[in-house]
C-alpha cells in the first residue's frame, strides 16, 4: 500500500491526512463515516504486508492494547484487512501536540516536564501489569 492521499478509504474510513510514516508503516488521521469522529489508523507498509510473522505481531499488538484501559494510551476500536490484504488498526484519536513539536518551541516549565517524564513509566508499568512488553 502506497501512501494514501486525503479522501482515500481505509476500510470504511475516509483518510483526512497522513500523520507519520516510518519503517514499518503509516499512521493516518481518518473520520468515522457515520459518527464523524476522528480516528487514527495504523497500517503496515505494502512490502511487509504479506509477511505472516509481521501481520501476526501487528494484530497481537492491537489485541493486547485493546485490553489496556489507561488515559495515557489510545483505545483500539477495530482491526481488519484491506482488499490487498494490508492489515490496519483503528484507534482513538488523542488530541494534542507530540513531544518533538513541543520541544521545538523551547524549554518547558519544570512542572510540565515533570508530568511528562512521570507519565511515561506509569504508562509502561500499566502495559507490563498485563504481561506485555512495549517495544
Q: Is the pLDDT of residue 2 over 80?
A: no
Report d(CA 109, CA 71) in Å as an integer: 22
Average pLDDT of the residues in 10-30: 93
Q: Describe the strand order of the beta sheet including 9-10 as a list of residue ranges.
A: 9-10, 13-21, 25-31, 38-44, 87-92, 76-81
DSSP-derived secondary structure letter, 65: H
Q: Is the pLDDT of residue 128 over 80?
A: no
Q: Is the pLDDT of residue 130 over 80?
A: no
Reduce the DSSP state of residue 122 to 3 states and report it. helix
Q: Is the pLDDT of residue 123 over 70?
A: no
Question: What's the pLDDT band for 31 if we cut at 50, 70, 90?
Answer: very high
Average pLDDT of the residues in 118-123: 74
pLDDT in tens, 70-101: 777 789 999 999 888 889 999 999 888 878 88
Q: pTM for the complete prediction?
A: 0.79
Amino acid at each position: 500500500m502506497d501512501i494514501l492521499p486525503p479522501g482515500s478509504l481505509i476500510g470504511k474510513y475516509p483518510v483526512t491526512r497522513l500523520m507519520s510514516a516510518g519503517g514499518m508503516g503509516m499512521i493516518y488521521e481518518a473520520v468515522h463515516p457515520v459518527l464523524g469522529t476522528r480516528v487514527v489508523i495504523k497500517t503496515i507498509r505494502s512490502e511487509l504486508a504479506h509477511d505472516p510473522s509481521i501481520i501476526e505481531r501487528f494484530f497481537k499488538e492491537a489485541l493486547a492494547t485493546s485490553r489496556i484501559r489507561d488515559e495515557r494510551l489510545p483505545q483500539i476500536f477495530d482491526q481488519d484487512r484491506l482488499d490487498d490484504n494490508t492489515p490496519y488498526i483503528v484507534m482513538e484519536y488523542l488530541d494534542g501536540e507530540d513531544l518533538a513539536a513541543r520541544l521545538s518551541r523551547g524549554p518547558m516549565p519544570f512542572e510540565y516536564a515533570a508530568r511528562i517524564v512521570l507519565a511515561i513509566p506509569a504508562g509502561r508499568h500499566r502495559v507490563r501489569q498485563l504481561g506485555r512488553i512495549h517495544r
